């Protein structure tokens, strides 16, 4: 079974703080993704990575950065948290970019609910 874990289920931070969200997967997946999910807006892709040291901007990268130093770990960083970054953050991983349903199926972590005050 694929397992994707996230460092915290709930997090409360103050405006201006630097926030680190960690994600680890144990299935040797190449691809990792960070999304945020807000009511009425669905899942929005922030950043993704196809390999160690690689990163690609998603649809809403502003205010975020990422780090992938090891294949199994993908970190999302909020450089200076703001109240509009209060959201549910979901990490996901998938096998490869070769195409086909099996490779592209994404497996999600349990999510981190972040509240920025």
Residues in contact with other proteins by CB under 8 A are: 30-31, 33, 40-43, 45, 48, 50, 56, 90, 94, 96-111
Nearer to other proteins, 17 or 108 (CB): 108
Q: How far is the CB of 68 from other proteins (least distance, A)?
A: 14
63 vs 108, which CB is nearer to other proteins? 108
Nearer to other proteins, 16 or 110 (CB): 110
> What angle (nearest 5°) sits at the alpha carbon of residue 112, between those of residues 117 and 68?
110
Q: How far is the CB of 82 from other proteins (least distance, A)?
A: 23
Q: Is the distance from CB of 14 to CB of 117 less than 8 angstroms?
A: yes
Task: Classify residue 30 as exposed, middle or buried by CB count within 10 Å of its CB (0-12, 13-18, 19+).
Answer: middle
Nearest distance from residue 111's CB to other proteins, in Å? 5
Closer residue to other proteins (CB): 41 or 117:
41
Task: Tell me 82's DSSP state.
Answer: -
In whole angstroms, how close is the CB of 77 to other proteins at the nearest point?
A: 21
Long-range CB contact pairs, 38-45, < 8 A, 24+: 38/87, 38/88, 43/90
């Amino acid at each position: 079974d694929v397992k994707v874990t996230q460092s915290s289920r709930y997090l409360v931070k103050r405006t201006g703080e630097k926030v680190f969200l960690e994600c680890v997967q144990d299935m040797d997946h190449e691809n990792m993704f960070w999304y945020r999910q807000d009511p009425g807006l669905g899942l929005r892709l922030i950043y993704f990575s196809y390999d160690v040291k690689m990163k690609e901007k998603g649809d809403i990268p502003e205010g975020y950065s990422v780090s992938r130093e090891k294949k199994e770990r993908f970190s999302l960083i909020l450089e200076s948290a703001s109240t509009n970054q209060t959201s549910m953050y979901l990490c996901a991983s998938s096998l490869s970019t070769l195409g086909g349903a099996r490779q592209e199926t994404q497996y999600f972590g349990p999510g981190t609910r972040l509240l920025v005050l």
